[in-house]
Amino acid sequence: MLSIGQLSARTGVKVPTIRYYEKMGLIAPPDRSVGNQRRYEPDALRRLSFIKHGRDLGLSLEAIAELIDLADDPARSCADADRIAREHLSAVQDKIARLKRLERELTRIASRCTGHTIGECYVIQALSDHALCDDEH
Amino acid sequence: MLSIGQLSARTGVKVPTIRYYEKMGLIAPPDRSVGNQRRYEPDALRRLSFIKHGRDLGLSLEAIAELIDLADDPARSCADADRIAREHLSAVQDKIARLKRLERELTRIASRCTGHTIGECYVIQALSDHALCDDEH
DNA sequence: TGTAATCTCTATAGTCGCTATAGGTTCAAG
DNA sequence: CTTGAACCTATAGCGACTATAGAGATTACA
C-alpha cells in the first residue's frame, strides 16, 4: 500500500496532480486509511505511469481517458487507439510547421536590429507593419 | 469613428477579445456614444493590429505590453525590444525541438500497429511501458 | 414614426491542466 | 509523547480567451 506521496515520488506526478486526476475520473478513488488518507494498491503505479507517459507525449487528458477505456478491454479493435495516436501525430506536425514559420520570421526580425533607438528598431517596425513580413500568419 | 464590430472586422480580432484587451490595459478605453457604445478613433486600428501581429507571432500579452511601452518612446534603446524578440525566438526553438522528439516517438508508435486487437496494440503497450521508448521525455 | 434586425452593453462562468494557498488533521520516527 | 512531515478539503489563480444571459442601442427600411 502506497501513500499519495510515495506514489508521487515513484511516478514523478505531483501530489495535487494525482488528486486532480482522481477528481477528473482518470484514476479510481483508492481506499483510505483510518485517518482518511489515500492508500494505493501497487496497481495504481501502472495506471498513473500510463497517464504520465501519455501527458509527456502531449496527449490531452480526454485522449488518455479514451485510451484507458480501450486498454481495459483487450478484445476490442486496435483501430481506435491507432486513430488517437495518428490524430495527435498530425496535430503535432501542424504545430511544428507553424512554429517553424514563426522561427523564420522572428530570426529575420531580430537579426535586422541595428542596435540603436526604438525609433529605428526593426522589431517594432515589423510588428507595426504587416507588409514587412515574409509570409502570412 | 469605428464601432467595436467595425474595428473587429478590420483587424480580425474578435469583439470580446477587444474588450478583454481593454480590461487588461493593452488598449486605452475609447470614447463612448450617447448610448454608451465604444467608438474608436482610426488610430486604434494601428494599435490593435500591432497586438494581433504580436499574438500571431506567439508573443504573450505581457511581452506585447512591454513592446507597446517601448514603441511609445522612440528615443529609448532598441536593446529591450531586441531582447524580447530573441527570448521568444529561443522559446520557439525549444518548443520545436521538443515537438520533433514527440513526432519521432509518435510516428514510431503509430507505425507499429498491427491492426488487430487492443491486447496486441503497440500504441497501448508503448504507453504502458516506458522501456519501449526510444528516448527520454 | 414604427418596427425589426442587428449590434452592443455588462457581468459571469467556462475552457485546459494544473499549481498555490489556507487552515486543518494524521502519521511515523525518536 | 512530542515533533515535524505528510496529508486532507476547498477554493482561487494562471493565460488568453470564449460563451452565455439578459438588457439596451443603433440602423435600415417602410
Which positions on chain C have an atom < 7 Å from some protein CB? 7-11, 16-21, 25-28
% of chain B at pLDDT higher than 70: 93
Q: Where does the pLDDT of residue B15 fall: very low under 50, low under 70, confident under 90, or very high at 90 and above?
A: very high
Q: Where does the pLDDT of residue A81 fall: very low under 50, low under 70, confident under 90, or very high at 90 and above?
A: confident
Residue B35 vs residues B20, B28, B32, B44, B104: alpha-carbon distances, Å: 20, 19, 7, 20, 57
End-to-end CA distance of chain B: 53
State which amino acid sits at residue B43.
D
The domain spans of chain A are 4-59, 79-132
Chain A nearest-CA distance from B93, in A, is 7
Are the beta carbons of A127 and B54 closer than 8 angstroms? Answer: yes
- Which CATH number applies to B4-71? 1.10.1660.10
Inter-chain CB proximity B81 and A109 less than 8 Å: no
pLDDT of residue B31: 97
Element (DSSP H or E) covering residue A39: strand A38-39
- State yes or no: pLDDT of B135 exceeds 70: no
Q: What is the pLDDT of residues A4-56, one digit of tens each?
A: 999 999 999 999 999 999 999 999 999 999 999 999 999 999 999 999 999 98
How buried is residue B63: exposed, middle or buried, by Cβ count under 10 Å (0-12/13-18/19+)? middle
Please state, rounded to an integer, the average pLDDT across all residues of chain B.
Answer: 87
Please state, rounded to an integer, the average pLDDT across all residues of chain A.
Answer: 87
Q: What is the pLDDT of residues A97-106, one digit of tens each?
A: 888 888 888 8
- State yes or no: pLDDT of A136 exceeds 70: no
State which amino acid sits at residue B57.
L
- Which CATH number applies to A4-59? 1.10.1660.10
% of chain B at pLDDT higher than 90: 43
Q: What angle do CA A104, A110, A115 make, to 5 degrees?
A: 165
Residue nearest to nucleotide D7 (CA to C1'): A37
- State yes or no: pLDDT of A137 exceeds 60: no
Q: How far is the CA of B96 from the C1' of C6 (A)?
A: 44
Higher-confidence position of A123 and B130: A123
For residues B70-90, give the mean pLDDT. 83
Q: How far apart are CA B41 and CA B30, in angstroms?
A: 8
For residues A120-133, give the mean pLDDT. 77
CA-CA-CA-CA torsion sign (B42, B46, B49, B55): negative
pLDDT of residue B50: 93
User: Is the shortest CB-to-strand distance from B6 to strand D under 7 Å?
Assistant: no
Inter-chain CB proximity B85 and A137 less than 8 Å: no
For residues B12-28, give the mean pLDDT. 95
Q: How far is the CA of B42 from the C1' of C7 (A)?
A: 20
Are the beta carbons of B49 and A130 closer than 8 angstroms? Answer: yes
Q: How far apart are CA B124 and CA B126, in angstroms?
A: 5
Are the beta carbons of B75 and B100 closer than 8 angstroms? Answer: no
Grid coordinates in use for B71? 514603441
For residues B128-133, give the mean pLDDT. 71
